[in-house]
Structure 1
Amino acid sequence: MHDADTEGKDLNRSLVCLCAAELVMMINTTAFNVALPNIAESLGAGMAEQQWIVSSYNLVFAAVVLLAGFLGDRLGHLKTMLAGLSMFVVASAIGLMAGNVPVLLVSRSIMGAGAGVVIPMGQALLGILFRGPELSRAMTAWAIAGTLGVPFGPLVGGAITAMLGWRGIFGFDGVVFLAVIVVIRMNVPRMNASHATRSLQIPWMSVAMMFAGFTLFSASLVNAQHGVLSADAWIPMTVGVVLITGFVLHDRTSRNPLMELGLMRDSSFAACAPALMMLNFSMYGIIFIMPAYLETVLRHGALVGGMLLMPLVVASIVGSRMNDWIVSRIGSRGTSLLALGCLSAGTLTIGAAMCWRNGVMEQSTVLVGQVVAGFGLGAGQPAMLTWAMGRVPAEQSGAGSSLLTVFRQFGSIIGVGIFGSIQSGLYATKFHDLAQSAGLNLQSAGSVAQDFQQAAGFMGTTGDLMQQAASRAYESAMTGSFATAAIIIIVTLGIVALLSRATSR
């Protein structure tokens, strides 16, 4: 009895430590978004450069995640996870010294590599340490940690940026990740690699094709802000799709595959992949667009802007806490579909809020949209992860977790890309029209933060009219961005329902 109690306490300590790693990593992921307006002013970064700062993280994450699963199943999941956490410490030191956008991109890329290792290894360790009903409890705790970290990040980032500037975020990361490494080494048990006898030869061709494909696809989304049909948008997208398709076909026939595509034959696992993709699509899209609206358009600053995203945080926590109750009544499939419905309704509500000309009504409607979307994020993630990982054999935990994480990261890439490009394109057009109607012969400088900065250089009425045009243009563009996102989520909801139609719950 004592041994069982001791084992239970050890498992609980491991769970707490793994959840702590997930929490601080997700805080890091989104804390940076609040600092983007500050970085835009400090380094002169336009909307396209800001998209690359965010997308570089997601791109390298997506490229590394399958390799992480490959190595974790062979070398050991804990050892691989600690290597990923160490990358954050190195990247934090580089970011702290960054004096221009390219160095910042290097830092964020290394952090993306670290995240691409830590998240799938954390999920794989949970899948090995916990099975049966305990897996659901562990995944719920993991999901709550991640759900808390994503929207809570802007609050932490806002506070640090307000006190120390955007470089303070890197200093915070360096200290926190060092502490996490020490705690995990002390409390999470080491386990032998699942496939120690399998080849350790890395399939570099698969890695290169996938990374090149995702990079070109992301570049096309960033370039689409200048026009979807422009050559620098559709050519890289076409080549990117060809490379990603080639990677899948090559990996399927390889004797040393990077990806366990056989897992997709399970209808529940296959349905969870696009569902999880939409969670990240919504989450990263919202948090990419909202800071500039809250900090620049509404002129609240980084700290208050982060605090105004708290409805998303609270609703996410409530959704996560209610997950077991909801799943017990409508099953994992029903909960996943409900979550996607909430996400589409929430994004549509935030977009519709921009149509109000009454400030109180606008802010109230934005709050409602955040609550609805946040609830979907919180309730959906643990249900989807438990639904999928419960179907994966223990010896394939790393591969299964990595495959799901690739879909999630692809959601992050297209979330930032689609939200950012639609927002940027609509904003520039609307700004030009509003500026002309106000008698100003001005073009947008590339982002609402830069336009506000440019307006500050004009004396009297011209500066005020320019700020008004920038604010109204950004709000109008948000309607288009969020409405498009809602449509994409609704279409995906239909696909998930179709793929999982044979699954009763």
Structure 2
Amino acid sequence: MNDATGKDPNRSLVCLCAAELVMMINTTAFNVALPDIAESLGAGMAEQQWIVSSYNLVFAAVVLLAGFLGDRIGHLRTMLAGLSMFVVASAIGLMAGNVPALLVSRSIMGAGAGVVIPMGQALLGILFRGSELSRAMTAWAIAGTLGVPFGPLVGGALTATLGWRGIFGFDGAVFLAVIAVIRMYVPWTNASHESRSLRMPWMSVAMMFAGFTLFSTGLVNAQHGILSANAWIPMMIGVVLIAGFVLHDRASRNPLMELDLMKDPSFAACAPALMMLNFSMYGIIFIMPAYLETVLRHGALIGGMLLMPLVVASIAGSRMNDWIVSRIGSRGTSLLSLGCLAAGMLTIGAAMRWSDGTLQQATMLTGQIMAGLGLGTGQPAMLTWAMGRVPVERSGAGSSLLTVFRQFGSIIGVGIFGSIQSGLYAERFHDLAQSAGLSAQSAGSVMLDFQQATEFADTTGELIRQTASRAYESAMTGSFATAAAVILVTLGIVALISRTTTR
């Protein structure tokens, strides 16, 4: 490392945590604005899924390339380039007048996030080791944990006062400030592999991006039926391309991904565990805003505030991390985290079964707290467990590999939650509409159906809104139950992989 003299590691930690915080606020603040965007631009559920998934897809495609470059040209230099992408994307989003322009903006932001997150983790792995690394990772996790559920509150306030474009204006100003403070206080690092080739492994990048894109396309199309050709064919081709990417990269003399890190059982166990954290976070944040803002008929600001139990529980979980790890170890804490997430998902889904509004909200509050504790305790324990096994000179590669798994969790989180929710919602809406004697057909999302209800007389319009609300709540039960099952299966896999580790 050069230019490190006189740089306070604690100030560097604060700056890196600030970057993580504002980036995660950006990620989830946008979801709260989806109902407004859907109404403003006429976006259906599939288009909304693509708006969210474009961010995650490009993130996944860029993240390994970021680790590749960071280990060769310097982690801080690469991170600053990623932060600059957010500024450019914010300007495009501020002027976007249609869904394609919004997709471009979110894709560039995804590229920026794919650079910033692994480089931030890599810098922490270089600046701190041993017990100090655990402290730094806990702070980093708290910043990210705060940003994920706190984002809806910020997004709600901005959307309520400035409209959804206000989020992009906020992003541009904040990311410029973050770039300035990071340049002042974070030390520059030398390339760790100066003798290694800088030639880009474009074939690996192309195969991975195409694989993730096709797999995500299949998930989005699955809302019309998992057995439909436009769902399972893209998914299968995507799986083949991802498998081909792994085989090609392993045989390459200039690999994009250093898979030999997965030989360590602790590192290998953390990968699917971290994937489930993002799966849970993005799934919840994707479908809850429509319930809080449309079904319960709150505004964006109140909708964001109603997710605050998730925030408080996440912070509490992060603060308890060291105490829990000291008693049951990183492995035990990670398994406990996944158990809390599964229990929280089941509880939120069960809340939708209550007809009494007070009981429903109390049960959902309990579910949010359980899921928040799982998110808060899991992230620092898993990251410390994994990154503590990675040599300093391979920090970029290790961090990027873990981040790929996390982003794949984001992709399947939005895809599975969105497709199951949309499919169950349309089916339930049809059944309820028939039983109520309505001839109205679902427009494809609860937001558009509420908008459609305004075209009818007061009595009929209100009946459509009630039908849409009941259908959405019923679909949420199925979505969260499926998510809990996926998390429990992963918990078993993580326990099996890490069975030879002591703590």
Aligned to 2:87: 89
CA distance in 2, matches of 1:226, 1:59: 21
Aligned to 1:3: none
CA distance in 2, matches of 1:391, 1:191: 21
TM-score of the superposition, structure 2-length normalised? 0.99
The equivalent position to 1:300 in structure 2, one of 285, 298, 301, is 298
Aligned to 1:78: 76
The equivalent position to 2:377 in structure 1, one of 376, 379, 382, is 379
Matched letter for residue 201 of structure 1: R
- The answer to whether structure 1 residue 457 and structure 2 residue 455 are counterparts is yes
Asked whether the equivalents of residues 7 and 187 of structure 2 are also in contact (C-alpha less than 8 Å), the reply is: no
Aligned to 1:328: 326
Deviations 1:89-123 (A, max 9, x none): 00000000000000000000000000000000000
The equivalent position to 1:126 in structure 2, one of 112, 124, 139, is 124
Matched letter for residue 436 of structure 1: Q
Aligned to 1:390: 388
CA distance in 1, matches of 2:89, 2:498: 41
Aligned to 1:250: 248
**What secondary structure is seen at the aligned counterpart in 1 of 2:477?**
helix
CA distance in 2, matches of 1:95, 1:196: 38
**What secondary structure is seen at the aligned counterpart in 2 of 1:322?**
helix
The equivalent position to 1:348 in structure 2, one of 338, 346, 349, is 346
Asked whether the equivalents of residues 27 and 148 of structure 2 are also in contact (C-alpha less than 8 Å), the reply is: yes
C-alpha deviation, 1:7, in angstroms? 7.3
Alignment of 1:29-178 (within 5 A): 29-178=27-176
- The answer to whether structure 1 residue 284 and structure 2 residue 282 are counterparts is yes
Alignment of 1:199-210 (within 5 A): 199-210=197-208
Q: Percent identity among equivalent residues? A: 86
CA distance in 1, matches of 2:5, 2:131: 16
CA distance in 1, matches of 2:224, 2:476: 17
C-alpha deviation, 1:27, in angstroms? 0.2
C-alpha deviation, 1:460, in angstroms? 2.1
Change in Cα spacing, 1:487 to 1:8, as seen in structure 2 (3 Å) is: farther
The equivalent position to 2:8 in structure 1, one of 7, 10, 18, is 10
CA distance in 1, matches of 2:342, 2:222: 23
Aligned to 1:440: 438
CA distance in 1, matches of 2:236, 2:306: 39
CA distance in 1, matches of 2:62, 2:5: 33
Moved more, 433-442 or 78-87: 433-442
CA distance in 2, matches of 1:460, 1:298: 18
CA distance in 1, matches of 2:335, 2:470: 34
Aligned to 1:424: 422
Alignment of 1:173-192 (within 5 A): 173-192=171-190
CA distance in 1, matches of 2:495, 2:196: 37
CA distance in 2, matches of 1:26, 1:50: 19
Change in Cα spacing, 1:7 to 1:197, as seen in structure 2 (3 Å) is: closer
CA distance in 2, matches of 1:230, 1:88: 37
Asked whether the equivalents of residues 335 and 495 of structure 2 are also in contact (C-alpha less than 8 Å), the reply is: yes
RMSD value over aligned CA atoms? Answer: 0.9
Aligned to 2:412: 414
C-alpha deviation, 1:466, in angstroms? 0.2
TM-score of the superposition, structure 1-length normalised? 0.98
Matched letter for residue 176 of structure 1: V
Asked whether the equivalents of residues 317 and 375 of structure 2 are also in contact (C-alpha less than 8 Å), the reply is: yes
Deviations 1:160-214 (A, max 9, x none): 0000000000000000000000000000011111011110000000000000000
C-alpha deviation, 1:238, in angstroms? 0.6
Q: How many residues are matched?
A: 500
Aligned to 1:262: 260
Gaps of 5+ in 2: none
CA distance in 1, matches of 2:131, 2:235: 43
**What secondary structure is seen at the aligned counterpart in 2 of 1:457?**
coil
CA distance in 2, matches of 1:268, 1:191: 27
Moved over 4 A (4+): 6-9
